[in-house]
Amino acid sequence: MVAMESDSELDRGDAAPAFELPGTDGETYSLASFDADALLVVFTCNHCPYAKAKFDLLNDLAAEYDDLAVVGINPNDADEYPDDSFEAMRERVDDGTVAYDAYLRDETGAVADAYGAVCTPDPFLFGRDGDEFVLRYHGRLDDALNPDDEPTEYYVRDAVDAVLAGESVAVPDRPSRGCSIKWPGE
């Protein structure tokens, strides 16, 4: 397990890169699938302890905010990491471990690459601007940097509250920390 810190190609104000990915529910999702004022895209997976430590927070966010869509995208190589297979993703949803608005499979890693994601979890918060979503915050979900740490500050909640209030996000972008993405074919 190699801990990485995120460093995105996207800047605040940039449009969310388009995607069309299969979800664990059998549907295909794109940005247009989400009718919300804010969209939290988190590159994540099943096996990484850093990602697993944030499941409950992401589930809570999905349940608490009506105008926020929480979308998990798993780009990891399922051949090398069978726990990140599409079937294993479905199992996490079926047993309630993952209760996001959508849990999507990025089989080739192309979407993660387009976003500049490097680790799991790697969160990107977008706000609606007309017909598109624009980046408003890219950074840590909270101040717990290690899987066993207890968070005391929830940066993502402050950022979501600001986006939904139509305000600029005062929370500075801080690199997320997690396992490196296991790129398919590497």
What is the per-residue pLDDT for 2?
Answer: 47
Share of the chain above pLDDT 70, in %: 95
* Residues whose CB falls within 8 Å of the CB of residue 113, separated by 6 or more in sequence, listed in order: none
What is the per-residue pLDDT for 150?
Answer: 94
Residues with pLDDT less than 50, the chain? 1-2, 4
What is the per-residue pLDDT for 83?
Answer: 95
pLDDT tens readout for residues 47-74: 999 999 999 999 999 999 999 999 999 9
* Residues whose CB falls within 8 Å of the CB of residue 26, separated by 6 or more in sequence, listed in order: none
Query: What is the per-residue DSSP string for 97-138?
Result: S---SEEEE-TTSHHHHHHT--EESEEEEEEEETTEEEEEEE
Tell me which amino acid residue 121 is.
P
Q: What is the DSSP letter of 33?
A: G
* pTM for the full predicted model: 0.94
User: Among the residues of the chain, which ranges form H helices?
Assistant: 49-52, 55-64, 86-94, 110-115, 155-164
What is the per-residue pLDDT for 3?
Answer: 53
Structural domains in the chain, sorted by start: 3-180 (3.40.30.10)
